């Protein structure tokens, strides 16, 4: 199935990916070809087949309810690209007046 | 003693020499470091290396060996490498740099300079077993690729012919073991990323059963498919490394609590009494004739050894590629949502939050990763979820059920690992689908969660070919037994690239 340029832009937005015009063009062509190959699955009769999310049938894996110490603050922050100790710095989320 | 250079010998051989005091951990480490240094530019295998830390660890291992210790540490004094997708602790408890700690990039710019605050289960397991960490190997970005050309830090070249790829995504690990740079290396296999590069570099590559090995500290690509496993030079070495790595880990909720057998004890050299299937659909269209004839000859060797060989059918095999390229990108698109430029990794530094997400991810991820995020996001998006994602999960059930039915009748399966030998760097980069076809014979095994091993079965056009042995869930012992019996009979265990014996100089520039 060929997907449209608008589809590609919409999916890039959902994925929070900035793509250049050139990337959007290439993505449209390549995704269309890949989707065409993938769509061969339509011919498979799965009317009486359940989905498999994981091959091992584990259910409700819980750890023991035992409190453990947190990772020290400085360790947690060690890789933050922007920090304002003792906090992570985050770009503006809400504009003023909104 | 083999007449191979020290750096090219098997773990089994050098471990015996260590116990007999005929060599030292320091000598083994220096032999690997000399190869790494000699071929650093030529092969581009390592992304991080700390030679001094490795030498210190080697000296400690030698001291322990001198005290007569080590009977409970099966890899004591053996130098190894980790694919740069396993986190290695590099942050001290006060937030500073841990001396000797190595960064983790997953082959991506978005994690450039990332220093993990904790160790992966794999790093811990090998530390307990006494192995010496040399460094972190190059790989396709987030383990997405079949040629190692998708690394943000440049392609890895195959020691057999540096104009060709070493396979992927664990290409740095395969090339390091083939090139005498580490006695073993760890990789990850989501659709073939251990077995295919093993095939292309003439090494042994083992993907254990999903759940056999802890994924704790392994950067996630597709969580229902990812599994860690070793590259080695012999099947016996793979059994040894798996023994040190396998086992339940409460930190990985998909790790399975089932006993770890003595894998080395399974290597009887005997295949009489085993019934082994050859799935006809794995001899795919477009397979290279030299690969097919090497694999058919390997099957004949096992028949001559007394195994009962039967042709079997796995009719949904040709649906594997489409199934995989929905499930894996869908899971990847969710896993990679965490790279937001806020908590860790690089940030584009845009002033507004949403723009910063988009710019950070747009500039931090490479082409293949973006392609898979887009594909996965599309397959999960409103209106397409049932048609793509649920459909793929249903076909996954069919593929798994077919394997289960066939493996109820036979003890293991034999197939090619890769339909082709190592190809030229650049040959498939403009055609994602042609690249994806490299994994046609390996990815059905991940879809079904089964164990598989690739063992060298000769050369075609001067380049290595791999035989794949696939087994029942949690029955790594049988595939190791079959692969070992084949290896002993076929005599390819000392297959090495021509540069191994070239007296310290690369064959060509």
Average pLDDT over residues B144-148: 97
Instruction: Output the average pLDDT for chain B.
Output: 95
| Portion of chain A with pLDDT greater than 70, in percent | 96
pLDDT band at A1 (very low <50, low <70, confident <90, very high): low
For residues B51-81, one letter each, b for 16 or more C-beta atoms within 10 angstroms of the residue's C-beta and e for the rest, the string is eebbbebbeebbebbeeeebeebbbbbbbbb
Q: Is A44 on the interface with B (CB under 8 A)?
A: yes
Question: Which chain B residue's Cα is nearest to A7?
Answer: B378
**What gap in Å lies between CA A40 and CA B361, rounded to an integer?**
31
Predicted local distance difference test score (pLDDT) of residue B451: 98
**What gap in Å lies between CA B452 and CA B193, rounded to an integer?**
12
pLDDT band at B501 (very low <50, low <70, confident <90, very high): low
Is pLDDT above 90 for A92?
A: no
- Alpha helices, DSSP H only, in B190-259? 195-201, 235-245
pLDDT band at A60 (very low <50, low <70, confident <90, very high): confident
Domain B7-318+394-499, what architecture? Alpha-Beta Complex (3.90)
Which residues on A lie below 8 Å from B433 (Cβ)? 33-34, 37
Average pLDDT over residues B19-45: 97
C-alpha radius of gyration, chain A, whole number: 23
Single out the catalytic residue among B116, B120, B147, B193: B193
C-alpha torsion sign, points B249, B253, B259, B263: negative
Between the CA of residue B418 and those of A95, B398, B400, B453, what are the distances in Å?
Answer: 54, 23, 20, 12
pLDDT band at B508 (very low <50, low <70, confident <90, very high): very low
How does pLDDT run across B232-255, given as a tens digit for each residue? 999 999 999 999 999 999 999 999
**Per-residue DSSP letter, B58:** H
Is pLDDT above 90 for A27?
A: yes
Is pLDDT above 90 for B371?
A: yes
Q: Tell me which of A4, A8, A10, A55 to substitute to probe the interface with B (most B C-beta atoms closer than 10 Å).
A: A55
- Asked, as a colleague might, if the bond just before B335 is cis with ω within 30 of 0, I would say no
Task: Name which of A42, A55, A93 is nearest B400 (Cβ-Cβ).
Answer: A55
A-facing residues of B in 422-441 (CB < 8 A) are 432-433
| ipTM value | 0.94
Average pLDDT over residues A17-23: 97
Is pLDDT above 80 for B291?
A: yes
Average pLDDT over residues B446-462: 98
Is pLDDT above 60 for B190?
A: yes
Contacts of residue B335, defined as CB under 8 A and 6 or more positions apart, other chains included, come to B220, B221, B222, B223
How does pLDDT run across B383-440, given as a tens digit for each residue? 899 999 999 999 999 999 999 999 999 999 999 999 999 999 999 998 888 899 999 9
Average pLDDT over residues B59-63: 98
The structure's pTM equals 0.96
For residues A16-32, one letter each, b for 16 or more C-beta atoms within 10 angstroms of the residue's C-beta and e for the rest, the string is bbbbeeebeebbbebbe
Q: Is A7 on the interface with B (CB under 8 A)?
A: yes
**What gap in Å lies between CA B188 and CA B234, rounded to an integer?**
18
A-facing residues of B in 325-364 (CB < 8 A) are 325-326, 333, 337, 340-347, 349-359, 361-363
User: B373–A78: do the CB atoms touch at under 8 Å?
Assistant: no
Is pLDDT above 70 for A97?
A: no
pLDDT band at B1 (very low <50, low <70, confident <90, very high): low
Predicted local distance difference test score (pLDDT) of residue B506: 42
**What gap in Å lies between CA B88 and CA B218, rounded to an integer?**
10
Contacts of residue B324, defined as CB under 8 A and 6 or more positions apart, other chains included, come to B191, B225, B439, B443, B446, B447
How does pLDDT run across A30-54, given as a tens digit for each residue? 999 999 999 999 999 999 999 999 9
Which residues on A lie below 8 Å from B371 (Cβ)? 27, 30-31, 34
**What gap in Å lies between CA B437 and CA B417, rounded to an integer?**
12
Structure tokens at B388: 């793509």
CATH, domain A5-43, list 3.40.50.620, 1.20.1730.10, 1.10.3720.10, 1.10.20.60: 1.10.20.60
Q: Tell me which of B318, B368, B374, B394 to substitute to probe the interface with A (most A C-beta atoms closer than 10 Å).
A: B374
Predicted local distance difference test score (pLDDT) of residue B502: 61
Predicted local distance difference test score (pLDDT) of residue B307: 98
Q: Are B453 and B483 contacting, i.e. CB atoms less than 8 angstroms apart?
A: yes
Question: B169 catalytic, yes or no?
Answer: yes
Is pLDDT above 70 for A72?
A: yes
What are the strands of the beta sheet with B412-416, ordered from one edge? Answer: B46-49, B132-137, B79-83, B184-188, B228-232, B204-207, B452-460, B463-471, B412-416, B275-279, B308-312
How does pLDDT run across B468-496, given as a tens digit for each residue? 999 999 999 999 999 999 999 999 999 99
Instruction: Output the average pLDDT for chain A.
Output: 91
Nearest Cα of chain B lies from the Cα of A54 at a distance, in angstroms, of 6
Question: B83 catalytic, yes or no?
Answer: yes
pLDDT band at A59 (very low <50, low <70, confident <90, very high): confident
Could you tell me how far CA B177 lies from the centroid of its own chain? 11
Question: B214 catalytic, yes or no?
Answer: no
Which residues on B lie below 8 Å from A19 (Cβ)? 362, 370
Q: Give the number of other Cβ atoms within 10 Å of residue A72's Cβ.
A: 15
Is pLDDT above 90 for B446?
A: yes
Q: Are A2 and A37 contacting, i.e. CB atoms less than 8 angstroms apart?
A: no
Which helix (H) or strand (E) is B312 found in, with range? strand B308-312
User: B353–A90: do the CB atoms touch at under 8 Å?
Assistant: yes
Q: How many CB pairs under 8 A join A and B?
A: 181
User: A80–B344: do the CB atoms touch at under 8 Å?
Assistant: yes
B-facing residues of A in 47-66 (CB < 8 A) are 49-56, 58, 61, 63
**What gap in Å lies between CA B276 and CA B261, rounded to an integer?**
22
Closest CA to A39 of B403, B398, B433: B433
Q: Is A68 on the interface with B (CB under 8 A)?
A: no
Per-domain residue ranges of chain B: 7-318+394-499
Q: Is B452 on the interface with A (CB under 8 A)?
A: no
Q: Are B184 and B79 contacting, i.e. CB atoms less than 8 angstroms apart?
A: no
Task: Name which of A7, A35, A52 is nearest B396 (Cβ-Cβ).
Answer: A52
Which helix (H) or strand (E) is B371 found in, with range? helix B367-380
Closest CA to B481 of B249, B237, B244, B265: B265
Predicted local distance difference test score (pLDDT) of residue B505: 43
**Per-residue DSSP letter, B388:** I
User: A17–B373: do the CB atoms touch at under 8 Å?
Assistant: yes
pLDDT band at B353 (very low <50, low <70, confident <90, very high): very high
């Amino acid at each position: 199935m060929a997907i449209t340029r608008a589809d590609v832009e919409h999916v890039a937005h959902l994925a929070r990916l900035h793509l250049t015009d050139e990337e959007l063009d290439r993505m449209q062509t390549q995704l269309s070809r890949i989707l065409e190959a993938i769509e061969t699955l339509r011919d498979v009769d799965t009317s009486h087949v359940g989905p498999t999310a994981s091959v091992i049938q584990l259910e409700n894996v819980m750890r023991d309810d035992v409190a453990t110490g947190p990772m020290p603050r400085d360790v947690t922050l060690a890789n933050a690209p922007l920090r304002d100790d003792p906090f992570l710095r985050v770009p503006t989320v809400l504009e003023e007046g909104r | 003693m083999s007449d191979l250079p020290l750096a090219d010998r098997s773990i089994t051989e050098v471990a015996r020499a260590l116990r007999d005091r005929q060599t030292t951990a320091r000598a083994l480490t220096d032999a690997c470091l000399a190869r790494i240094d000699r071929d650093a530019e030529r092969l581009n295998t390592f992304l991080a290396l700390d030679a001094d830390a490795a030498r210190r660890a080697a000296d400690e291992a030698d001291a322990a060996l001198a005290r007569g210790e080590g009977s409970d540490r099966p890899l004591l004094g053996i130098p190894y490498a980790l694919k740069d997708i396993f986190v290695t602790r590099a942050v001290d408890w006060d937030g500073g740099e841990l001396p000797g700690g190595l960064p983790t990039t997953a082959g991506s710019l978005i994690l450039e300079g990332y220093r993990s605050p904790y160790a992966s289960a794999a790093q811990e397991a090998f530390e307990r077993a006494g192995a010496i960490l040399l460094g972190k190997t190059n790989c396709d970005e987030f383990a997405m690729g079949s040629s190692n050309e998708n690394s943000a830090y440049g392609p890895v070249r195959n020691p057999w012919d540096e104009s060709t790829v070493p396979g992927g995504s664990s290409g740095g690990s395969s090339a390091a073991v083939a090139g005498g740079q580490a006695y073993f290396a760890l990789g990850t296999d989501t659709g073939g990323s251990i077995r295919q590069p093993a095939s292309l570099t003439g090494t042994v590559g083992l993907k254990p059963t999903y759940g056999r090995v802890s994924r704790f500290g392994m950067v996630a690509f597709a969580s229902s498919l990812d599994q860690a496993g070793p590259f080695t030079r012999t099947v016996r070495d793979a059994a040894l490394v798996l023994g040190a790595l396998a086992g339940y880990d409460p930190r990985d909720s998909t790790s399975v609590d089932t006993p770890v057998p003595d894998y080395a004890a399974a290597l009887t050299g005997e295949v009489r009494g085993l019934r082994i299937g050859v799935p006809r659909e794995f001899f795919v269209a477009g397979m290279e004739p030299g690969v097919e004839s090497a694999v058919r000859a390997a099957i004949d060797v096992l028949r001559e050894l007394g195994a009962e060989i039967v042709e079997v059918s796995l009719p949904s095999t040709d649906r594997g590629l489409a199934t995989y390229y929905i499930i894996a990108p869908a899971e990847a698109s969710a896993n990679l949502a965490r790279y937001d430029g806020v908590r860790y990794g690089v940030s584009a530094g845009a002033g507004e939050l949403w723009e910063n997400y988009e710019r950070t991810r747009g500039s931090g991820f490479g082409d293949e990763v973006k392609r898979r995020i887009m594909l996965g996001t599309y397959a999960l998006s409103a209106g397409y979820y049932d048609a793509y994602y649920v459909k793929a999960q249903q076909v996954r059930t069919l593929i798994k059920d077919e394997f289960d039915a066939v493996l109820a009748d036979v003890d293991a399966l034999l197939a090619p690992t890769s339909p082709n030998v190592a190809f030229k760097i650049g040959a498939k980069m403009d055609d994602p689908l042609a690249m994806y076809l490299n994994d046609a014979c390996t990815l059905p095994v991940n879809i079904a969660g089964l164990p598989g091993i690739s063992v060298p079965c000769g050369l075609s056009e001067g380049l290595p070919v791999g035989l794949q042995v696939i087994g029942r869930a949690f029955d790594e012992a049988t595939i190791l037994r079959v692969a070992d019996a084949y290896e002993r009979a076929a005599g390819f265990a000392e297959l090495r690239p021509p540069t191994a014996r070239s007296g310290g100089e690369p064959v060509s520039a």
